[in-house]
Structure 1
């Protein structure tokens, strides 16, 4: 885990789920997942897109526009489950990767609300499609 992630996690927990800096005003969760190879529990701060259904949220596997997907993506999609820390609550979720038109629809909303994701998409063009994953309260 990076120092930046550690700082975000600490701030998130100190402020009941609120963070500042570049993430001020943007919804953030802490995604708890197990390493698929190591079995070690990891915590990853994530920007998310809320859904009309309060039990559903979407996370994007942008990995800052890197050419490869982040480890958390493989961990949660292979496990089919994870846990979400939101505010002061932690709860289990099921995991489903969105495909085709469903992904395109959600992705358009992501880019509209958080334009930096459009920049990440440009960086990964022709290399990979940035995954969009639905997390549903179990």
Structure 2
């Protein structure tokens, strides 16, 4: 894990799920995946979108617009059962989830909403050489 992610995770845990710095005022969760090859637990801080309290939570494999998908995405494809932590600023809840990769219009509309709320996501999409940046729906299991 790189130093930036380690700092975000520490800040997330210290502030009840509401990190500051680059992610101040942004919805952030911690995603626990199982390594596709190693089988080891992996932890990634990610921005997310949730349109209603009972609906899925969406995460975006933007990787800052890099030309390849992030490792956590490959882990979810290999092992779609995962866990997330979400906090409200005072407490953090750990939730078991199942991942589903979105496609077509469903993927496009969710990504467009995230880019509307956080314009850096539009920049990532313009920057990448990938055909699309994957969007993953996480639902409680």
- Give TM class, smaller chain: over 0.9
Once the two structures are TM-superposed, the CA of residue 77 in structure 1 deviates from its matched residue by 1.6
What root-mean-square deviation, in Å, do the aligned CA atoms of Structure 1 and Structure 2 show? 1.0
Aligned equivalent of 2:135: 132
Contiguous gaps of at least 5 residues in structure 1: none
Tell whether 2:45 aligns with 1:45.
Answer: yes
Could you tell me how far apart the structure 1 residues matched to 2:55 and 2:111 are? Answer: 19
- Return the offset for 1:108: 1.0
Give the TM-score, by structure 2 length: 0.93
- Structure 2 gaps of 5+ residues are none
The number of residue pairs the alignment matches comes to 137
Aligned mates of 2:53, 2:103 — CA distance in 1: 19
CA contact (8 A) 1:68 1:128 kept: no
Q: CA deviation at 1:51?
A: 2.3
What is the match of residue 18 of structure 2? 18
TM score, norm. by length of structure 1: 0.95
1:75-90 mapped onto 2 (5 Å cutoff) = 75-87=75-87, 88-90=92-94
71-80 or 45-54: bigger deviation: 45-54
